[in-house]
Amino acid sequence: MTQERALLRSIVQCYTPTGEEQPVAAHLVDHFHRAGLEASIDGAGNFVGCAGPGPVEVVLLGHIDTVPGEIRVREENGKLYGRGAVDAKGPMATFASATLRLAATGALANTRLIVIGAVAEEGGSQGARHIVDRYRPRHLIIGEPGGWDSIVLGYKGSLRIEYRLERSTRHSAGPDESVPEVAVAFWHRLSAWCDDVNAGKRVFDQISPALRMINTHGNGFSDTVAMDIHVRLPLEYGPEILREKLEAWAGEADIAVVFGDPAVKGGKNTPLVRAFLGALRDQGAQPRFKVKTGTSDMNVVAPAWCCPMLAYGPGDSALDHTPEEHIKLDEYDRAIGVLETALRNLDKAVAG
């Protein structure tokens, strides 16, 4: 087994659902230290490793937490199974492995790579929110699965709200709607409005609401209903625009925003994208551009950093969060080569 495959397997073997990332962070620190590189764990629990003299900073931002649901780690038919193999320890191990290759060969003359394994991406992106004011890179690469031969340019935004309505208990034979009925009417109004707005649009440009939870409670004196609603947003609708609309529809109910991040999309004509296109072609790929209907830590940091950006990483994102999550090891190997070459290309490009 190569050292790079061993790294991937070792971090996948660490079961790290959100809030329990420390074992992988510590393992990556040790891995970088053994290679003679700077590495530490920051105040949020993020892994941070560095290589290269600079002055141009390039942040490679992955994440080291996973969704819950432990999967037995095993290798079968050239595939590594385990929670996080695709989302997103495969991309994180790709970042680490390519960085160590470049450091070992002294290939970096103009860039400083800052490799970050963020915590809580599957939660509220607390790791990314911790770093957003601590760095100002010239280039940003997000570690998420998109396939070894693809470049991801953007992600939909998101708004998560908590709806809560409490009223004095009323007789069921009376004329007033019950609190669950009021809440359901609110949800149907949101869904119907989204259907109207979305007509004729591709998925990336649609507003996509999801009712994650609804609970009711009564104690004989008052009745309460609570809903957890998560809405995926296109580029043209920021979280504030939708929040104002929801508050206007809520009536006497309370709307609390858990988090809201705008949709983001990077440009194609940048030194960063060109560096990846050249690297992919060198590996025999026909590069593909993608946008994702989910979100990532790109949504958190990109509006503040305002720099060329993309997401890259091996793995099939259709396997994210599934019981059959696995990554093809040959794809992982290829992705390391692509990233190594892309970072070499970028280092040369910024010299001019």
Q: Which conformational region is residue 82 in: left (phi greater than 0), alpha (psi within -120 to 50 degrees), or beta?
A: left
Task: Convert the pLDDT of each residue in 161-209 to its tens digit.
Answer: 999 999 988 656 556 789 999 999 999 999 999 999 999 999 999 999 9
Section 214-239 average pLDDT: 94
Q: Cβ–Cβ contacts within 10 Å for residue 51, how many?
A: 25
pLDDT at 352: 66
Comparing CA positions, the residue from 160, 132, 164, 128 lying closest to residue 144 is: 128
DSSP, collapsed to helix, strand or coil, labels residue 150 as strand
The DSSP line for 17-80 is BTT--HHHHHHHHHHHHHTT-EEEE-TTS-EEEEES--SEEEEEEEE--B-S-----EEETTEE
pLDDT at 171: 55
**Chain position carrying tokens 């707005």:** 197
Section 212-229 average pLDDT: 94
pTM: 0.92
pLDDT at 1: 79
Residue 75 class from Cβ within 10 Å (0-12 exposed, 13-18 middle, 19+ buried)?
Answer: middle
pLDDT at 177: 87
Measured on CA atoms in the order 143, 149, 153, 159, is the torsion positive or negative?
Answer: negative
Active site members: 65, 121
For the chain, the average pLDDT equals 95
Task: Convert the pLDDT of each residue in 94-136 to its tens digit.
Answer: 999 999 999 999 999 999 999 999 999 999 899 999 999 999 9
Q: Cβ–Cβ contacts within 10 Å for residue 44, how many?
A: 17
- Evaluate if residue 89 carries a pLDDT over 90: yes
Comparing CA positions, the residue from 116, 120, 128, 57 lying closest to residue 91 is: 116
The H or E element spanning position 225 is strand 222-233
The H or E element spanning position 39 is strand 38-41
Distance CA 213, CA 223 (A): 17
Domains contained in the chain, CATH given: 3-155+264-349 (3.40.630.10), 157-261 (3.30.70.360)
pLDDT band at 46 (very low <50, low <70, confident <90, very high): very high
pLDDT at 176: 76
N-terminal to C-terminal alpha carbon distance within the chain: 39
- Evaluate if residue 296 carries a pLDDT over 70: yes
Section 55-72 average pLDDT: 97
Section 86-91 average pLDDT: 97
